[in-house]
A and B are shown apart, each in its own frame.
Chain A
Amino acid sequence: MSAVDVAAVVKNYGAQKVLDDIAIHFQEGAFTSLLGPSGSGKTTLLRIVAGFVTPDQGVVRIGADDVTRVPVHARNIGMVFQSYALFPHMTVMENIAFGLHRRGVRGAEATRRARQALDLVQLSHLGERRPKQLSGGQQQRVALARAIVFSPSVLLLDEPLSALDRRLRQDMQVELRRIQQESGLTTIFVTHDQEEALTLSDHIAILDGGRIVQEGAPAQIYEHPRTRFAASFLGDANFLSGPTMPGGIEIDGRPIKVAMPFETRGRATVAVRPEKMSIDGPGENRIPAVIRQIVYAGATTTYLLDGPEGLPFRVFTQNHEANLHPVGSAVWLTWSPAHTILLAE
């Protein structure tokens, strides 16, 4: 395994800028997610690392080697495709052994290593089947085994879980994380699913419009989103905009305090996570609101509220006690200045 470095990469398709001066370091052995909406350039970035797309400018390094002009087959990558791309005319074992054969590993040694990979994804009994005879989740595991059996320098995953149903996807997330940690492979994972990115990754890079808007550890990005886009794409957020004043901003004549230091100038926007707010609870920041709708989901309840000037709010609460506020009641939304995140617009 190796670290992967992308430096100053630019890619245009005609007049359209797909990637604009991308620089990112994928740490050795780490699980990094490229998170973004469709059209953000995340898949193009992955395909540039794989070698299917050549960047117009910039450098791609795997370990110490500059691979910018190296063809795909010489890069020693393992890749799992969105459609799995298993070879339909080969058995599961033949599929897995394909990469070994291309590296000159044959016979008993190839069989041994393919079996080992099949054991790792817990499909030891299905080696002689054809891909068509497997369920979606099983095909997914075979695709993963095929990609890691020859110990690639880097494992590339292109939205591999998006075709699975919800339950299976959660199982596969756990499985994927276990296999990644056992193998210690540097992994780059493309997804548009924020929950997937949060649960799987050591490191997340959020892409929008061909640029990396923020990167960091999942908790770091979640607790301290820098922009409105980052705050709303990773998790939910309530946004408040108002003129600045010393120590915070002003909403409807009330001070909303911000814990971090900032420059008092013009208007500013802050974000507050819905689970950080409480209804009629403690907290220095307070806003009056009326409950418009209640979404009861067993373990949690989501309140949708209207604040001053119709400003919408969303609050998540744990159902510790069956103390539901009724729809239409006027309440105080409260939260701490420490949970008030100032955004760069």
Chain B
Amino acid sequence: MTHVARAFLLGVLLFLYAPIIVMVAMAFNASPLYAMPFEFSTRWFGALAGDAVLIDSTRNSLVIAVLTAVIATILGTAASLALERKRFMGRAILRILLLPPIAIPWIISGTAMLLFFFWTGIGRGFHAMLIGHVALAIPYVVLVVGTGLKNVRVDLEEAAQSLGSTPLHAFFAVTLPLLAPSIAAAALFAFAVSLDQFVISYFLATPGYSTLPVQIYTAIRKGFTPEINAISALLLGFSMLAILAFVCLSKAGGTLERR
């Protein structure tokens, strides 16, 4: 039974990772035409270093993703605090309205944003893209932090107040530390949503300003070069490290919880 289970697990992992492994391998293959036999080389990484457009768009992607993570996490956390902890008119409707953006196809959100930004004079480029990404990431943050908040009992905040904390101090001394793993997860989600975003970025990019996914798409249309494998491998390594760090962090939090 364990043999079968192990074989099945291996199959699933292969299914998930095979294309990625091929891509990473080709990033290190000397031949530009993916010719076998495999010949190890770092020439595409060298070529990448000279490709100002790819480097620029990568930097843009990372800057936007980090800013999106920060802004969306702050706004989303505040929103989910209000939705979970306060009673006010229209709370139920707001809570429901936060969810559809996750399900709306990006091509539709993207078209809507392009129209709206054109119509209001916001235009395109860095600022428009940042607004778009933040708007896209907020529902995820609200969802993740909201789930975490359900596990932080209200009476903990009340206990802090009974001991002399103002509501604000109770939040920073009790709620926030207990919520930290959820907030970190939400930030990672927001970062990933932004880094991964193509459709909206494509609509809002300008000739002088674009992100890596947009640039890769443009490059592929012109003709595929292994440099793209190289930058993809780098990004992949970066994402894997981030996820790994998060898993370790949340595990540490988990053991702390259990003790």
User: Which A positions have Cβ atoms within 8 angstroms of B?
Assistant: 50, 52, 71-73, 76-79, 81-83, 85-89, 98-99, 102-103, 130, 132-133, 146-147, 150, 156
A-B contact pairs, 24 of them (CB 8 A): A71-B166, A73-B163, A73-B164, A73-B167, A73-B169, A76-B164, A77-B162, A79-B158, A81-B155, A81-B158, A82-B155, A85-B153, A85-B158, A87-B159, A88-B257, A89-B174, A98-B160, A99-B163, A102-B163, A102-B169, A130-B256, A132-B257, A132-B258, A156-B162
Residue B83, interface by CB 8 Å: no
List chain B residues, Cβ under 8 A from A52.
Answer: 158, 161
**Cβ distance A178 to chain B, nearest Cβ, rounded Å:** 23
- Measured CB to CB, the nearest residue on chain A to B163 is A99
- The distance in angstroms between the C-alpha atoms of A102 and B167, with both chains bound, is 13
A87 with B174: in contact, given A130-B259, A132-B258, A133-B259 (CB under 8 Å)? yes
Complex contact A147–B162 (CB within 8 A):
yes
- The majority secondary structure among interface residues of chain B is helix
Residue B128, interface by CB 8 Å: no
Complex contact A73–B159 (CB within 8 A):
no
**Cβ distance B182 to chain A, nearest Cβ, rounded Å:** 13
Chain B interface size range: 20 to 34
A87 with B156: in contact, given A130-B259, A132-B258 (CB under 8 Å)? yes
Q: Which 9 A-B pairs have the closest CB atoms?
A: A102-B164, A85-B159, A99-B163, A79-B162, A72-B161, A85-B155, A81-B155, A89-B177, A98-B163
A99 with B156: in contact, given A89-B177, A89-B256, A132-B258 (CB under 8 Å)? no
**Cβ 8 A contact of B162, one of A78, A88, A89:** A78
List chain B residues, Cβ under 8 A from A89.
Answer: 174, 177-178, 256
**Cβ 8 A contact of A132, one of B158, B159, B169, B259:** B259
**Cβ 8 A contact of B166, one of A73, A82, A83, A156:** A73
- Measured CB to CB, the nearest residue on chain B to A47 is B158
- The distance in angstroms between the C-alpha atoms of A80 and B147, with both chains bound, is 27
List chain A residues, Cβ under 8 A from B159.
Answer: 79, 81, 85-87
- The distance in angstroms between the C-alpha atoms of A87 and B166, with both chains bound, is 16
**Cβ distance B14 to chain A, nearest Cβ, rounded Å:** 40
- The distance in angstroms between the C-alpha atoms of A67 and B138, with both chains bound, is 41
- The distance in angstroms between the C-alpha atoms of A133 and B174, with both chains bound, is 19
- The distance in angstroms between the C-alpha atoms of A52 and B167, with both chains bound, is 11
Residue B239, interface by CB 8 Å: no
Residue B165, interface by CB 8 Å: yes
Complex contact A102–B162 (CB within 8 A):
no
User: Which B positions have Cβ atoms within 8 angstroms of A?
Assistant: 153, 155-156, 158-167, 169, 173-174, 177-178, 256-259
List chain A residues, Cβ under 8 A from B167.
Answer: 73
- The distance in angstroms between the C-alpha atoms of A72 and B157, with both chains bound, is 11
List chain B residues, Cβ under 8 A from A83.
Answer: 153, 155
**Cβ distance A305 to chain B, nearest Cβ, rounded Å:** 46
Complex contact A73–B165 (CB within 8 A):
yes
Query: Which of B156, B177, B256 has most A Cβ within 10 Å?
Result: B156
- Measured CB to CB, the nearest residue on chain B to A132 is B259
List chain B residues, Cβ under 8 A from A71.
Answer: 161, 166
- The distance in angstroms between the C-alpha atoms of A87 and B159, with both chains bound, is 9
- The distance in angstroms between the C-alpha atoms of A186 and B199, with both chains bound, is 66
A102 with B178: in contact, given A89-B256, A130-B259, A132-B258 (CB under 8 Å)? no
A88 with B158: in contact, given A132-B257, A146-B163 (CB under 8 Å)? no
Query: Which of B160, B167, B257 has most A Cβ within 10 Å?
Result: B160
Complex contact A103–B164 (CB within 8 A):
yes
List chain A residues, Cβ under 8 A from B166.
Answer: 71, 73
Complex contact B165–A102 (CB within 8 A):
yes
List chain A residues, Cβ under 8 A from B256.
Answer: 89, 130
- The distance in angstroms between the C-alpha atoms of A151 and B174, with both chains bound, is 22
- The distance in angstroms between the C-alpha atoms of A147 and B257, with both chains bound, is 23
**Cβ 8 A contact of A50, one of B153, B162, B169, B257:** B162
List chain B residues, Cβ under 8 A from A147.
Answer: 162-163
- The distance in angstroms between the C-alpha atoms of A72 and B153, with both chains bound, is 18
**Cβ distance A16 to chain B, nearest Cβ, rounded Å:** 16
List chain B residues, Cβ under 8 A from A150.
Answer: 163-164
**Cβ distance B51 to chain A, nearest Cβ, rounded Å:** 47
Given contacts A79-B162, A87-B174, A132-B257, 4 further A-B contacts (CB under 8 A): A73-B165, A73-B169, A81-B158, A87-B160
- Measured CB to CB, the nearest residue on chain B to A83 is B155
Complex contact B259–A72 (CB within 8 A):
no
- Measured CB to CB, the nearest residue on chain A to B159 is A85
- The distance in angstroms between the C-alpha atoms of A52 and B161, with both chains bound, is 9
**Cβ distance A266 to chain B, nearest Cβ, rounded Å:** 49
- The distance in angstroms between the C-alpha atoms of A132 and B254, with both chains bound, is 12
